[in-house]
Amino acid sequence: MPISEPVHRSKADSVIYVNPHKRKPATALVSPNGREHRRIGSEQASKAERSISFEDVFQDGHATIKYIIVRFPAGEGPWYILRCDKHDLNFKNHPIKGAATHLGGKQHGRMSREPAVAIKYLGVKVLNCNKILAERNNVAALEALQKGHKHPITDIVGNEPQGDLISASFDKAPAQKTQGELRHTA
C-alpha cells in the first residue's frame, strides 16, 4: 500500500492525506499559436485521490465542521464528503447534486455536471466508513444544521451559495417591508 503524506490545513480542518506517488506533474502544453495551457487535471486530478478517516470527519459527533457523507456509486461504491477548497464550500442535503451544480458554474469554467465529475474534482474519500457510521454522522450533521449550528456548510441553489454560515435565526420568517420599516413575520 503506498504511503500517504499529510497535507496540513488550518486547525478547523482535519488532516487530509494525499498519495504523492499518484500525482501527475503540472506541466504546461504549448499550442500551435504559442500560448501555454496547463495540462487539464494536473492540479484537480489529485483532488480525487484525497482521503480522510471517518474518525476525523465525525470526531465523536463534536466536529467543528459538519459534513454529509455520501456513497458513490450509490449502494456499492466508497464513501465521500464533498468540498470545494478553492471556494471554501461544503455541500449539505444533496452533496453530489450541489457539488455538480457548483462545478457547472462560471467559477469552474462550466464543467460537466455529471455526478462522477463532482466526485472526481470535489470528493474526499472517507476511509473506515460503512453505512451505519455514515448514517450516524449524517444524523449529527443534519441535527446541527437544524439547531442553527454555526459552521461553514453551504447549500447551492442556482449555482450560487446561499450562505457561508448557518445562523441561529435561519428558522425565522423573512423580513417584510411595510410602510418604511422592516418587520419579521412569524
Average pLDDT, the chain: 70
CB of 119 within 8 A of CB of 72? yes
User: Which three three-digit cell numbers place residue 95?
Assistant: 452533496
- Where in the chain are the domains? 5-26+39-168
Check residues 86 and 45 and name the one with the higher pLDDT.
86
User: Which three three-digit cell numbers place residue 68?
Assistant: 454529509
* 70-71 and 36-38 strand pairing: unpaired
Measured distance CA(63)–CA(86) in Å, rounded: 21
DSSP characters over 52-119: EEHHHHHGGGT-SS----EESSTTTS-EEEEEETTTTEEB-SSHHHHHHHHHTSGGGTS----HHHHH
Q: Convert the pLDDT of each residue in 122-147 to its tens digit.
A: 999 999 999 999 999 999 999 988 88
Q: Is the pLDDT of residue 26 over 90?
A: no
pLDDT of residue 164: 33
pTM: 0.57
Q: Convert the pLDDT of each residue in 67-100 to its tens digit.
A: 999 999 998 999 999 999 999 998 887 999 999 9
* 160-161 and 79-84 strand pairing: unpaired
pLDDT of residue 149: 57
